Copies of this chain bind each other. A is one copy, B any other.
């Protein structure tokens, strides 16, 4: 019976016979035996296997036991005399499944740049760093589902292909099955999308929020967790053309409840990862960013600060700081302002709420003051905005006015407006960029290194 290396390393008892299968990371030949480190992806450290040179067929075998080779090792677990591991495997039978020629296998022991590793995205999951990222990514995703399912939220699959543009903003990818070399044309020469697959111009979604609102007005509490897209030509370390987003939406919920949920949600996810991936977090702490553990512990346990936008502007104005961007009521907060609030003033995550209406989207609920909306952003130290949410405008007339005020055509929003005609309720939700969360948790510099196959301008390989 094959056993996962994480289980053997954590719980394996000396004296038992086991078989492990994995890939060789390192090899060290001594006089009487050879040590190989075998990794099956279940644990950062892998398992130390000791191969006595008296093993039958050793001379042939050892040539193939190189970095990257896939092999199977059977033998007895023995307490390890080394200080780096509790237990090791003394091999009595070895089978090499697949070799890896040392002259051509790109992942030799030396350190590689993340830029280079992106060019071999089919092999980079076998490195320590990307391996640890992907285990933490999986733990975050699992924690997210568990958090919502425990609270009775339904996971809803909102459409990827859509004819509507959630915020009237953001550049969209077109989805088409037309022959682009010679598309059908209307009499005026425009592309005739009525002849396209969906009978209209279709796009990749930028958010599932509007459809999640539909589901929330039937099931009370729902969340999306799926891919979303931006066709922005942003070659930065924080932008992807394809990324995953989590968007809970709750009926009978106001901004206060929304903030409470966002805080409980982030705390839960950090607590889960601290519990399930301690080795991986320590790795990032030691190799990538020495604030990772402190941040995780703070996020997991400490209540977030809360400031209204108006208070935040006062604080920034009276901070005496020479900010690069202007600070004034009505202007959006810039990254430097967000970081001052979270890192210096509050020294912990802070939720800023009640933003000016004119800098926020049409669907956010207008407050009684007539000039702010019930929006909130969770700002985290170092990373800035990690969650953005709002109470949604549930009043038909106010929503209709906000749509037209922002220069949008209300017609395509007929169904979104209908939700305000039939059984309308106060409701609220937020969005979390999943890769931003993983980046925040691991301290990884570039968002392209926290998703298996990044999609950015010029890059769709693999």
Bound Cα distance from A6 to B220, whole angstroms: 12
Closest chain B CB from A102 CB (angstroms): 11
CA distance A137 to B219 in the complex (A): 13
Chain B positions within 8 Å of A217 at CB level: 23, 70, 125-126
Q: Is A116 an interface residue (CB 8 A)?
A: no
A residues 308-331 in Cβ contact with B at 8 Å: none
A58: which B residues are within 8 A, CB to CB? none
State how many angstroms separate the Cβ of A312 from the closest Cβ of chain B: 30
Number of identical protomers? 2
Cα–Cα, bound, A131→B222 (Å): 13
Whether A72 pairs with B241 at a CB distance below 8 angstroms is no
Please indicate the chain B residues that have their CB under 8 angstroms from the CB of A218 in the complex.
23, 41, 125-126, 131, 134
Of A29-37, A291-299, A413-421, the one touching chain B: A413-421
CB neighbours (8 Å) of A101 from chain B are 421-422
Proximity bits, A431-462, B CB within 8 Å = 1, else 0 = 00000000000000000000111010111111
Q: Residue among A105, A181, A453 with the most chain B CB within 10 A?
A: A453
**Structural contact, A200 and B424, CB atoms closer than 8 A:** no
Q: How far is the CB of A318 from chain B (nearest CB, A)?
A: 39
Q: Name the interface residues of A362-404: CB closer than 8 Å to any CB of B.
A: 394
Establish whether residues B214 and A462, one from each chain, have CB atoms under 8 Å apart when the complex forms: yes
Binds B, one of A169-177, A260-268, A342-350: A169-177
Question: When A159-B453, A214-B125 are in contact, do A152 and B6 touch as well, CB less than 8 Å?
Answer: yes
A161 to B97, Cβ gap below 8 A? no
Is A242's beta carbon under 8 Å from chain B? yes
Number of interface residues, chain A, beta carbon within 8 A: 107
Set B142, B226, B452, B457: member contacting A145, Cβ < 8 A: B142
Closest to A419 in B: B122
Contact between B141 and A251 (Cβ–Cβ < 8 Å)?
A: no
Partner of A227, one of B183, B226, B457: B226
The docked-state distance in angstroms from the alpha carbon of A190 to that of B452 is: 32
Bound Cα distance A87, B162 (Å): 43
Within 8 A of B (CB), among A185-220: 189-191, 197-200, 202, 204, 211, 214-215, 217-220
Knowing that A70-B425, A160-B204, A415-B462 touch, tell me 12 more A-B residue pairs with CB under 8 angstroms.
A21-B252, A21-B425, A41-B219, A42-B220, A69-B423, A70-B251, A134-B218, A142-B155, A163-B461, A198-B241, A198-B459, A227-B227
Can you show 16 pairs from A to B with CB atoms below 8 A apart? Answer: A21-B425, A23-B217, A41-B219, A68-B423, A97-B252, A122-B418, A134-B156, A138-B155, A142-B145, A157-B227, A158-B453, A159-B460, A174-B177, A175-B175, A198-B459, A199-B457
